[in-house]
Amino acid sequence: MSESTKLDAYLDDAGPAALVLHDELVSVEGPEGVVFPPTYAAGDNFPGGYNIDGNLEGENVCLIDSVGAQANRIEPMFGRAPYAELVPQINIRAGDRVVSILEAGHRAGDAVVRCSPLQEELQKAFKALLKGDAEPLARVAPTSLVFGVWDSRDTQAKAPRLLASTIRARNVRKLTRSAQYVPAIDYVGHELLEEPTDKPMKSAYSERGFVHVPASASHGGVIAKGGIRRDATLSLAALRLLAAGNAPERTRALRRYLLGIAVTAFTANVSGYLRQGCNLVLDASKPQPRRIEEVYPSGERKPFTLSHEEALAYAKAAAKAFGVGESRAVDFDKERARRDVAGDGEKKAKGKKAKG
């Protein structure tokens, strides 16, 4: 058995439906450390702030990192050694910035990619995906097939996430914090500035740091009394739906390649610094801080024992057999962007006219 074929059991219909991972995490400060979840804007009957479901005085679940945020944190690893050789390195020069397709929020469907010379190639790839051929997209943006992509602005082609990861805290106690900004000098008292006479002037003084500014009862993080856990799923059943048209050998090579990328990302330790006040590590106090299982359609569960180093070795062999696509650097095209915006405007105008 060659290195690139050793995980073929995962590609067979009789194989596991998924690999499931559970990481028991803890703040670098310890179990009682304060962790800062993301804050969300108000909307759809949500008041804004932390996303906490359940009773704040009892059992609840607090979102620490969403599935989308996790995908956007994990994917850029394929732009760094030793993982960069597994995928084509596609960069878009936009003004004084260079944006990797691995860092674009919507991946191959992102505006920065769409408004570049890659537009026609990706449009063909998405149209091929709609017809059951994922190989053209894998040649340009294989991680879009692993972490999910939706070409919502053009062909409407969609590939579900093969790898989904979320971090949640349980039974959290919500904290608040207050602060007081004190200016270095009493500007008004020392007659360096005149006394503000109206609300706009007071606001201007406040915004520019010339007066005392209190900040009371703002978000102060949470203490996770029930622990923090990262749950990740690598859907092998979804992977087995991807094909290279009606070519069985190419389909097998494609699935091995995508499995290699996915299992490499799946087994990596991707916790750590999420945001200010949220730095997480594996909880070494737990007897088994990381647990990975193969889950079969029958419900049977078996231990998954492949190490990250073994996963990477498999991914390299599968990538070599498949043939990694060409790495390129292209320029953002302002004219394409103008046409893209105009096209959206025309569609909206037609939609309103049709409704009228």
- Judged against a pLDDT cut of 60, whether residue 356 lies above it is answered with no
pLDDT at 211: 87
pLDDT at 235: 98
Collapsing DSSP to helix, strand or coil, 312 comes out as helix
pLDDT grade for 354, boundaries at 50, 70 and 90: low
Q: Alpha-carbon distance 341 to 79, whole Å?
A: 30
- Judged against a pLDDT cut of 70, whether residue 346 lies above it is answered with no
pLDDT at 88: 97
What ranges do the domains of the chain cover?
3-171+225-355, 172-220
pLDDT at 299: 96
What is the mean predicted confidence (pLDDT) over 130-138? Answer: 97
Collapsing DSSP to helix, strand or coil, 293 comes out as strand
Bigger pLDDT: 82 vs 179 = 82
What is the mean predicted confidence (pLDDT) over 103-113? Answer: 92
Q: Respond yes or no on whether the N-terminal peptide bond of residue 16 is cis (omega within 30° of 0).
A: no
pLDDT at 350: 52
pLDDT winner (highest mean) among 46-60, 205-219, 314-328:
314-328
Query: Quick one: which of 165, 67, 149 has its CA closest to 106?
Result: 149
Q: Alpha-carbon distance 287 to 35, whole Å?
A: 23
pLDDT tens profile 57-71: 889 999 999 999 999
pLDDT at 66: 96
- Three-state secondary structure of 192-219: CCCCCCCHHHHHHHHHCCCCCEEEEEEE
Whole-number percent of the chain with pLDDT over 70: 96
> Contacts for 47-55 with beta carbons within 8 Å, 24 or more apart?
49/219, 50/174, 50/219, 50/222, 52/172, 52/174, 52/222
Query: What does pTM read for this prediction?
Result: 0.86
